[in-house]
Structure 1
Amino acid sequence: MIEVLSNAALATVQDQGREGYLRYGVGTSGAMDRVALSVGNLLLGNDDDAAGIEIPMFPFRVRFTADVAFALTGADCVARLNDRPVLPWWTLMARKDDVLTIGVPTTGARCYLLLEGGVDVPVVLGSRSTQLRGEFGGHEGRPLQKGDVLQVAQLQPAAPSGEREYAGFGVTSPSCTLRQSTAVPEASPDETVVRVLPAAEYESYQDASIEAFWRESWKVTPQSDRYGYRLSGPVLSPRQPLEMRSHGIVPGVIQVPPSGQPIIQLRDAQPSGGYPKIGTVIEADLWRLAQARIGSKIRFAKTTYREALDALDEVEWYVNKLRQLVGLHRSAPRP
C-alpha cells in the first residue's frame, strides 16, 4: 500500500512489542512511544497490536500504491499529502499515487505513520516489531530503505461514498491531556521531565551525587538511540567501588557505568546488564522520554510506587476515553 521514497535512517516497523521472551535473551523492541501507536490504531479502527512505522529521522516520504486511510501521531511534524497540509493526531484518506512528505517536527522526536489495517509483515515470536540487534522481525529485520514496498494486513472495504468513516477525524495529543503530579518541577522549553523510582543501588551513591541526580538537567547525547539514552551531566560517584554480576533489566532502568554518566535503557536494550541501577523511569512516562530530542535535556522527578501506578491508570483512562470518543464518531449518523 506504500512505497518508501526516502533513505531516512532508522525508520522501522514497530507494534506494541515482543513480550515474554526476556528470559531467552530477546529484548522487547516495539514502539518507543506506545501511546502514540495506540492512539493511531484507535483512530483507524485497527487492532490494538497492529504495526505502524516509527520515524525518527526527517524528511520521510512515501507514495501510496492504493487508496487507504492513514494517521500521523507522535511528534508534531510539518506534513503534506501532495500539496495538502496534514495535521498531527489526525486521519486522512490517501488515494493511489498520492505522496506523503513528513518534515522536521516542531516538537517531539518520533513520528508514527499508521495505516488502516496495520502494516503487514511476518509475526516473529509474537510480534511484528523490528529487532535491530537480532536482525529479525519488522521488514526483513532492518530499517526501511528507499524502494521498500509495504502492504496492509487487513484492509476494510470502502464505504459507498468511497471514504472511510474515520478519515477526517482527530484527537488532542497526550501531552495536552495527561497531567503530571504537582510535585514534578516545571520544565523549560528544551526539557523533558520524567518521574523516576529509586532503584536497587540508589543508596550506594554519595549524597552529593544523589542530590545532583534529582537537581540537575541531563543532556541527551548524540550517542543515544533506541537501545538507550546516554546522558551527560554531573559525575555520579558511588560510596565505594561497585562490582556486580549481569542481571535482568527492562526499558526505563537508569544504569550508571564507570564514567558516572547515566544510561536510560530503552526498547531495544539487551535484557541483562552489569552496571548498577540508580533509578527507573516509570512506565507511564516512557512515551514522554521517547519524544526527547538529541541535544535536549531531561530532568528526573522522584516519585513513589503508588504514584507510578496511578500514573499508569491515567494513561489507560486516556486511551479508553479516546476509544469511546472514536466509537461515538463512527456510530454518529452520516448526512
Structure 2
Amino acid sequence: MSSIKVIAPGLFSTIQDLGRLNYQQYGMPVSGSMDHFAHKIANLLVGNAEDEALIEMTILGGQFEFKADVLVAITGANMSPMINGQLEVGMWRSVRIKKGDRLTFGPAHNGCRTYLAIAGGYEIENTLESKSTYTRGSLGGYKGRTFKKEDEIKLKTHKLKLENLEGRFVRAEHIPTYTSELELNVVLGPQEEAFTAKGIADFFSETFKITNEFDRMGYRLEGKKIEHVNSADIISDGIVSGAVQIPAHGNPIIMLSDCQTTGGYTKIAHVITVDLSKLAQAKAGDVIKFKALDIEEAHQLHRESAEKYEIIKAELDQFQLAPERNMKLKLMHKVFNVKVNEIKTKPL
C-alpha cells in the first residue's frame, strides 16, 4: 500500500475531516477542520468527497516524502509549497507528485491554516464515526495526535484517472484573501440580557486583538472590557463553534472546532457559520470587529455562500489547466523567464 512519510511535522499538523457530529450529547467535541471551505475545495480538486479526511497544518507546515505517484491539492494559507526544494507548487489547483518527491512547506505568509488533500484520501480508521483528530483526548486521526518525524501515513487505493483530474483549478475571484483585520458577522444572544447596554454597544463599536492564547479550541481576545449587569456565571448550557463567551474579566473568547460541549459563562453572540472559515485563518495579533445581524440576514448569507460553492464545483468540471510551460520573454532587450498555463475547456 502506498504512503507518505513525515520528514518534518510542522508546528501542528493533524488529520481532520468535517467533524464528529453525533457525540456532543456525551461530551465529545466535534473537532474537524477549522476552515471548512478550504477543506471542501481541496478534496473536490482531487476528485474526493468533500468530507474526506486530509492534513491540516497550522502556522508552519511540514515536509513529506511520497512513496507513490499521487495527485494533490493545497488550499488555505500560503506556506510556499515546493517540490524537492526547487519547483513551486500552485495552490488551489490539482498537481501531480511523483514517487520519491518531497513536498515541503514553510511558514504561512498569510492566513494560518493550510490543507493538503490527496486523490483517494488517507487510510485512517473511523473513531466515533469520524477520522478527525482530537488531540486533548488523544482520539481519532493518526494515533490521536499531531504528526511526528518518521510517521508514515498510508494512502487509500484510488480508482480515478489522475489525468482527468490533474489541472483542476479555482478561479482567482473565488480564492479567499486573508487579512489581519477581520469583520465578523454575529447573531446576538442567547444571554444578551446579562450585559449592560454599554457592554453591548462596546462589543459592536470597539476592536479586539487576538492574543497568543489561540488554538483549535478557541481564540482569546483583548480590548475594551465588556460589562455584565451582574455575574458572568450561568448554569452550564450548550456551546457550539462560533459562540462568543464573556467571562468575568470582560474579554471575549470565541469557541472553535475543539471547544467543549457545555460551559458556564455568558455568551453575548455567535459568529455566523459563513464567517467561521474566515476566522479559522486568523492568528495572534490580528484585529477583529463584530457586526450585528439578525437571523434572517445570516440565513441569506448562508444561501449566497452555498450558491457560490455550487458555482465553483461546476467550474471544476468545466475548465482544466494544461501542463505548465517554461518560456523566455524578450522585452526591451531584457529576457524574462515566465511560466505559462493554458486553460482548456473540458468536453461536456
Is the TM-score greater than 0.5? yes
1:297–1:307: structure 2 CA closer, same or farther, 3 Å change rule? same
SS in 1 for 2:317: helix
Q: CA deviation at 1:175?
A: 6.4
Deviations 1:81-115 (A, max 9, x none): 12111122121100011111112222211000111
Deviation of 1:285 (Å): 0.6
Q: Greater strand share, 1 or 2?
A: 2
Q: 5 Å matches for 1:277-288?
A: 277-288=267-278
How far apart are residue 154 of structure 1 and its match? 4.0
Runs (4+) of structure 1 exceeding 4 A deviation are 173-178
Give me the whole-angstrom Cα distance separating, in 1, the residues matched to 2:261 and 2:20.
12
In structure 2, the CA distance between the partners of 1:322 and 1:154, relative to structure 1 (3 Å rule), is: farther
Contact 1:38 1:319 in 2 (8 A): no
The equivalent of 2:94 in structure 1 is 91
1:119 equivalent in structure 2: 122
Return the alpha-carbon distance in structure 2 between the equivalents of residues 173 and 27 of structure 1. Answer: 34
Unaligned runs of 5+ residues in structure 1 are: 179-186
Mapped contact 1:69–1:164 kept (Cα < 8 A):
no
DSSP-derived class of the 1:5 partner: strand
Show the counterpart of 2:146. 143
> Matched residues in 2 for 1:165 and 1:95: separation?
17
Moved more, 135-144 or 72-81: 72-81
How far residue 164 of structure 1 moved from its aligned partner, in angstroms, is 2.6
- Corresponding position of 1:152: 155
Match of 2:15 in 1: 13
Aligned partner of 1:199: which letter? G
CA contact (8 A) 1:220 1:232 kept: yes
Distance in 2, matches of 1:141 and 1:267, equals: 16
Choose which of 184, 191, 194 in structure 2 pairs with 1:201.
191
Match of 1:164 in 2: 163
Q: How many residues align?
A: 321
Structure 1 residues 18 and 149, CA, compared in 2 at 3 Å: closer, same or farther? same
**CA distance in 2: counterparts of 1:174 and 1:315, whole angstroms:** 14
User: Displacement, 1:148?
Assistant: 1.0
Distance 2:195 2:146 in 1: 39
Aligned pairs (5 A) from 1:319-330: 319-329=309-319
Shift, 1:77, TM fit: 2.6
Which letter does structure 1 place at the counterpart of 2:82? Answer: R
1:177 deviates by: 6.8
Q: Hey, what's the Cα distance between the residues in 2 that align with 1:298 and 1:33?
A: 17
SS of alignment partner, residue 108 of structure 2: strand
Cα distance in 1 for partners of 2:217, 2:246 equals 15
Select 2:301's aligned residue among 311, 324, 335. 311
CA distance in 1 between partners of 2:74 and 2:220 (Å): 28
Preserved contact between residue 11 and residue 62 of structure 2 (Cα < 8 Å): no
**Alignment CA distance shift 1:106-1:263 (3 Å):** same
Q: How many Å separate the matches in 2 of 1:169 and 1:229? A: 34
In structure 2, what residue type is equivalent to 1:78?
Answer: S
Larger mean Cα displacement after TM superposition, 80-89 or 323-332: 323-332
Equivalent in the alignment of 1:69: 71
- Do the aligned residues in 2 keep the contact of 1:69 with 1:167 (CA within 8 Å)? yes
How far did residue 226 of structure 1 move?
0.2
Matched ranges for 1:257-272 at <5 A: 257-272=247-262
Q: 1:184 matched to which residue of 2?
A: none
Distance in 2 separating the partners of 1:37 and 1:215: 32
The two structures have a TM-score, normalised by structure 1, of 0.91
Question: What is the distance in 2 between the residues matched to 1:202 and 1:247?
Answer: 15
Contact 2:11 2:61 in 1 (8 A): no
The alpha-carbon deviation at position 151 of structure 1 amounts to 1.8
Instruction: Give the alignment partner of residue 227 of structure 2, picking from 211, 233, 237.
Output: 237
Alignment correspondent of 1:128: 131
Task: For residues 195-227 of structure 1, give each alpha carbon's deviation from its aligned partner in whole angstroms, at most 9, with x where no partner exists.
Answer: 001012213212222122111211111111000
Whole-angstrom distance in 1 between the partners of 2:247 and 2:285: 20
Task: Indicate yes or no: 2:282 matched with 1:292.
Answer: yes
Q: Does 1:102 align with 2:105?
A: yes
Q: Is 1:30–1:129's contact at 8 Å kept on the other side of the alignment?
A: yes
The answer as to 2:209 corresponding to 1:210 is no
Give the whole-Å Cα distance in 1 for the aligned partners of 2:55 and 2:61: 14
Q: 1:225 aligns with which of 202, 205, 215?
A: 215
Aligned-residue sequence identity (percent) comes to 34
Tell me the equivalent position of 2:51.
49
1:34 aligns with 2:36: yes
Structure 2: segments with no counterpart, 5+ residues: 321-344
1:324 is displaced (CA, Å) by: 1.2
Tell me the alpha carbon deviations over residues 231-264 of structure 1, each in whole angstroms, 9 at most, x when there is no partner. 1111111012243111111000000111111110
The answer (yes or no) to whether the contact 2:233–2:247 under 8 Å persists in 1 is no
